[in-house]
């Protein structure tokens, strides 16, 4: 049993997040087709596949943002099929989004204070009691430090560089103290330096928790993933270690063959 900074325990070898026969139809179009997925507790699990493979739809299903047409979802053995995102979040599953959703005129510290207050049931109130929020400052600053933004804690988020904004979003997900963290394209649109920084950051935050991420960058996948699931046309094409799926002929043909740098 290992322990995260926030006290979260993982049980290696057990399954944190699982899907069975997960299927999603959009007006007759089957975007996800009977997907079986087991994410082992404490592992970093990558979801890869060409555009339109169904990765984001699968993320949305696993986090309750859309309801499956059929199939089941369990988190630490508990059936959460059809539950609302808030309920799934209460079971310790938190996600980031592909698109940034920060407030330009709030500082990283203010973002974190609000997120921590929201987690404690305060909701994202726009009238903010300065005293109430100050109670969250210590934890807010710890999270800011953890994602490498300590020097920028009091700057308006609108002034942050792209990679710094993505780091702040990561801190906002961490504020929920998730046991399972889903990251949708954490390095999308980043230059090489930010990519390396993000790899190091995900490695740090994966200590003592489970991470599932989608990324098109095979260097990121190879650097981080304990396990890789390859999707294609809504189905699981292959599943295994990075080395195993890289060597899989179907994967080479269907996906990695497209990537000259894979």
Q: Which residues contact 26 (CB under 8 A, 6 or more apart)?
A: none
Nearer to ligand ATP by Cβ, of 31 and 143: the residue is 31
Q: How far is the CB of 255 from ligand ATP (least distance, A)?
A: 11
Find the shortest distance in angstroms from Cβ 206 to ligand ATP.
Answer: 22
CA-to-CA distance for 205 and 128, rounded, in angstroms?
A: 29
Alpha helices in the chain (DSSP H): 55-62, 85-90, 108-117, 130-134, 137-146, 162-174, 192-205, 218-224, 242-247, 249-254
Based on CB atoms, which residue is closest to ligand ATP, 33 or 155? 33
Query: How many angstroms separate the Cα of 130 from the Cα of each of 9, 57, 102, 110?
Result: 33, 39, 20, 10
Biggest CA pair distance of the chain: 60
Kindly state the smallest distance separating residue 47's Cβ from ligand ATP, in Å. Answer: 8
Q: Shortest approach of ligand ATP to residue 58 CB, angstroms?
A: 7
Residue that has been written with the tokens 């997960």 in this structure? 22
Give every strand in the sheet of 180-184, ordered side by side: 93-95, 180-184, 210-214, 44-48, 227-232, 235-240
Report in angstroms how near the CB of residue 235 gets to ligand ATP at its nearest. Answer: 11
First to last CA, the chain: 34
CB-nearer residue toward ligand ATP: 223 or 233: 233
Site of interaction with ligand ATP (CB under 6 A): 26, 29, 31, 49, 51-57
Nearest residue (CB) to ligand ATP, 110 versus 215: 215
* Nearest to ligand ATP of 50, 118 (CB atom): 50
Q: How far is the CB of 63 from ligand ATP (least distance, A)?
A: 13
Q: Which is nearer to ligand ATP, 99 or 124 (CB)?
A: 99
Q: How many CA atoms lie within 13 A of 212 on its CB side?
A: 29
């Amino acid at each position: 049993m290992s322990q995260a900074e926030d006290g979260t325990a993982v049980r290696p070898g057990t399954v944190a997040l699982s899907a069975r026969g997960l299927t999603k139809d959009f007006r007759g179009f089957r975007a996800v087709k009977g997907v079986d997925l087991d994410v082992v507790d404490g592992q970093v699990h990558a979801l890869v596949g060409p555009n339109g493979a169904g990765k984001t739809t699968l993320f949305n299903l696993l986090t309750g943002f859309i309801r499956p047409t059929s199939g089941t979802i369990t988190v630490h053995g508990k059936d959460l099929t059809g539950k609302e995102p808030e309920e799934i979040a209460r079971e310790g599953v938190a996600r980031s989004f592909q698109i940034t959703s920060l407030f330009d005129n709030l500082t990283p510290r203010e973002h974190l204070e609000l997120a921590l207050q929201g987690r404690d049931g305060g909701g994202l109130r726009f009238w903010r009691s300065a005293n109430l929020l100050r109670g969250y400052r210590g934890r807010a600053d710890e999270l800011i430090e953890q994602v490498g933004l300590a020097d920028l804690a009091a700057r308006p988020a609108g002034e942050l560089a792209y990679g710094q904004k993505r780091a702040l979003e990561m801190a906002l997900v961490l504020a929920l103290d998730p046991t399972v963290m889903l990251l949708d394209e954490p390095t999308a649109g980043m230059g090489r330096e930010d990519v390396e920084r993000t790899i190091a950051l995900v490695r740090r935050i994966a200590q003592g928790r489970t991470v599932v991420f989608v990324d098109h960058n095979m260097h990121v996948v190879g650097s981080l993933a304990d396990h890789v699931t390859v999707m294609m046309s809504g189905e699981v094409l292959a599943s295994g270690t990075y080395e195993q799926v890289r060597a899989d002929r179907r994967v080479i043909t269907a996906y990695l063959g497209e990537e000259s740098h894979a």
